[in-house]
Amino acid sequence: MSLFLRMCWEFFKTGLFAVGGGLATIPFLKEMSVKYGWFTLDRLTTMIAVGESTPGPIGVNMATYVGYEMFGIPGAVCATLSLVAPSLIVILIICRVLDKFRDSRAVKAVFDGFRPAVVGFILAAVLSIYQTALLNQGAASLANMVNVKAVILYAALLTLYLKKSKLHPLFVILIAAGAGVLFSF
């Protein structure tokens, strides 16, 4: 299978199984990083930061980013379409049969079963982001394992955000971006 088709297939699978939104795509992207080496885990963290700080769904933004990095504009378009195609197909099928099964206990039970799985996917994504952003991967010693600058920045921004509850998240993103440039994160 060509690399282009492999990329499309991987994003199609991601779109099919990443139930719960964009953050649920992160474990799949991490697997792509490890399995195919299309991007590093550090690059994944950067993609998450860019995807979260730009308008639009993070999963779509990240698929577009990876597709563009690999194959330019055709890759961006195809990766994005591959990611959203399963959702479109499922929505069309659900629309056709929803009225028949709207009050079905089995359908309600299936959706009740999805909820904990989605929470698990999102929690796994959050822990993966923390690990990549705050720890030095492959550190030689325990003392070097923590990225001290990143932990200090995270603690400061979290404190600022919690103390100033009306602080717009865009302001926090701009401060973090400025600190990243200023302190070479």
Query: In the chain, what are the helix, strand and coil shares in percent, each to the nearest 5?
Result: 80, 0, 20
Per residue in 140-165, pLDDT (tens digit) is: 776 778 888 888 888 988 888 888 87
Q: Are 54 and 110 in a shared domain? A: yes
Domain that holds residue 181: 139-185
Between residues 35 and 166, which one has the greater pLDDT?
A: 35
Instruction: Write out the H or E segment, with its range, that includes residue 58.
Output: helix 58-101
What pLDDT score does 185 carry? 63
Handedness of CA 115, 18, 131, 181 (dihedral sign): negative
* Nearest CA among 123, 91, 117, 111 for reference residue 26: 123
Q: Are 168 and 102 in a shared domain? A: no
In sequence order, what are the residues at sequence separation of 6 or more whose Cβ sits closer than 8 angstroms to the Cβ of residue 52?
Answer: 58, 173
Q: Are 88 and 120 in a shared domain? A: yes
Query: Among the three residues 98, 115, 134, which one is the final residue of a domain in this structure?
Result: 134
Q: How many structural domains does the chain have?
A: 2
Q: Are 129 and 163 in a shared domain? A: no
What pLDDT score does 80 carry? 93
Q: Which of 44-53, 71-80, 103-112, 122-131 has the highest mean pLDDT?
A: 71-80
Q: Are 104 and 145 in a shared domain? A: no
* Cα gap 35→77, rounded to integer Å: 23
In sequence order, what are the residues at sequence separation of 6 or more whose Cβ sits closer than 8 angstroms to the Cβ of residue 128?
Answer: 26, 27, 30
With 90 as the cut, is the pLDDT of residue 28 above it? Answer: no
Q: Are 179 and 129 in a shared domain? A: no
With 80 as the cut, is the pLDDT of residue 31 above it? Answer: yes
| Cβ(60)–Cβ(80) below 8 Å | yes
* Cα gap 102→93, rounded to integer Å: 13
* Nearest CA among 64, 53, 61 for reference residue 177: 53
| Cβ(172)–Cβ(178) below 8 Å | no
Q: Are 129 and 153 in a shared domain? A: no
Q: Are 88 and 112 in a shared domain? A: yes
Q: Are 51 and 88 in a shared domain? A: yes
* Token pair recorded at residue 171: 């302001």
Q: Are 51 and 101 in a shared domain? A: yes
**Cβ-based neighbour number of residue 12 at 10 Å:** 19
Q: Are 128 and 54 in a shared domain? A: yes
What pLDDT score does 147 carry? 83
Q: Are 147 and 127 in a shared domain? A: no
Between residues 11 and 128, which one has the greater pLDDT?
A: 11
